[in-house]
Amino acid sequence: MAKILIIDDEPMTTEMLTTFLRIIGHTAVEAFNGRQGWDKLAYEAPDALLLDIMLPDENGLDICRDLRAAPETANLPIIMISAHSPPMIAEAQAAGANDYLSKPISLADLKTALSALGVT
């Protein structure tokens, strides 16, 4: 069982992802903005991160870049999530994300993405 940090400002999305993670046997930790996300990263030590691109206080792409630049989080599996159309896959990859999922996210897509990253 892995601990997954979800940083997303949409409560319904966060609730849905938390439910999906529990269904597939993981623990979810929730943050609703970048500041909360940084705080929870510091004391929760998650095994992976689901990171929204558009947050009210910070850009998720910038958070991803900062995480990649820090030795302690450089290898943290990061899946960027967004409702942007067209998807911002290239931007997420350039920021260092391991994967990208478009909202609405299905349970099957989430499970596949986590498995591909070795998050079990």
Tens-digit pLDDT profile for the chain (120 aa)? 999 999 999 999 999 999 999 999 999 999 999 999 999 999 999 999 999 999 999 999 999 999 999 999 999 999 999 998 788 999 999 999 999 999 999 999 999 999 999 998
Domain count, the chain: 1
The answer, as to whether pTM is greater than 0.85, is yes
Is 63 in contact with 76 (CB distance < 8 Å)?
A: no
Please tell me the predicted confidence (pLDDT) of residue 87.
Answer: 83
Q: What is the CATH number of the domain that holds 60?
A: 3.40.50.2300
Please tell me the predicted confidence (pLDDT) of residue 109.
Answer: 96
- Residue span of the structural domain in which 48 resides: 3-116
Please tell me the predicted confidence (pLDDT) of residue 6.
Answer: 98
| DSSP letters spanning the chain | --EEEEE-S-HHHHHHHHHHHHHTT-EEEEESSHHHHHHHHHHH--SEEEEESB-SSSBHHHHHHHHHHSTTTTT--EEEEE--SS--HHHHHHHT-SEEEESSPPHHHHHHHHHHTT--
Residues 6+ apart with CB under 8 A from 66: none
Interaxial angle between packed helices 60-69 and 34-44, expressed in degrees from 0 to 180 and rounded to the nearest 10 = 30
Please tell me the predicted confidence (pLDDT) of residue 120.
Answer: 86
Is 94 in contact with 46 (CB distance < 8 Å)?
A: no
Cα-based angle 110, 17, 65 (whole degrees, multiple of 5): 70
